[in-house]
Amino acid sequence: MKKVMLAILMAFSALMAFSTGCVVSSDGEVVAVAPGHVCVGDCDHYYHGGRYYYMRGHHHGPGCGHVLRGGVWVVASAN
């Protein structure tokens, strides 16, 4: 029974990743991002200090405080 539940949960998680975009789970402002995700301007998360953080409604662009480095938005001062 545990194996069946685990398989169902894994399938549900994968479905949510595809249906909701790049963020697959959230714990307050810290989020998990789908494996293999490459960030774009519409992403409302950034990476800093070993974690991804979520900023509802944030749009990346000039002067937003983040830079796109290697397909991931990072804090601009973390050069």
Which residue segment(s) compose the domain that 37 sits in? 2-75
pLDDT at 44: 85
Closest to 37 (Cα-Cα) out of 71, 63, 61 = 71
Domain count, the chain: 1
25 within 8 A of 54, measured Cβ to Cβ: no
The C-alpha torsion from 17 through 49 and 65 to 71, rounded to 10°, is -50
Classified as helix, coil or strand, 12 is helix
Return all residues near 17 (Cβ < 8 A) that are at least 6 apart: 24, 34
> Which mean pLDDT values do the consecutive 10-residue runs of the chain (79 residues) have?
61 45 72 85 87 86 91 81
